[in-house]
Amino acid sequence: MLKGLGEDWIPGYKPAFNFQMTLVDAVARWLALHPDWLGRMPGMRPVTGLQEAARFWIGPPPTLSNQPPPQELEQMLHIARKFDVAGRDERNRALGRAGEECVLAHERASLQAVGREDLARKVRWVSEEDGDGAGYDIESFAPDGRSRLIEVKTTNGWERTPFLITRNELAVAEERRSEWRLFRLWNFSREPKAFELHPPLDAHVALTATTFQASFH
Given a contact cutoff of 8 angstroms between Cβ atoms, the answer to whether 44 and 94 are in contact is: no
Closest CA to 45 of 110, 102, 117: 102
Closest CA to 70 of 23, 25, 17: 17
- Alpha-carbon gap, residue 162 to 77, rounded angstroms: 8
pLDDT digit string (tens) for the chain, length 217 residues? 666 666 665 655 555 555 566 777 777 777 777 767 655 554 444 444 434 456 788 999 998 888 877 777 787 777 777 778 888 889 889 999 999 999 999 999 999 999 999 999 999 999 999 999 999 999 999 999 999 999 999 999 889 999 999 999 999 999 999 999 999 999 998 889 999 999 999 999 989 888 777 878 7
Tens of pLDDT, residue by residue over 60-102, are 999 888 887 777 778 777 777 777 888 888 988 999 999 999 9
Model confidence, pTM: 0.80
Given a contact cutoff of 8 angstroms between Cβ atoms, the answer to whether 123 and 103 are in contact is: no
Please report, for the chain, the start and end positions of each structural domain, with discontinuous segments joined by +: 21-201
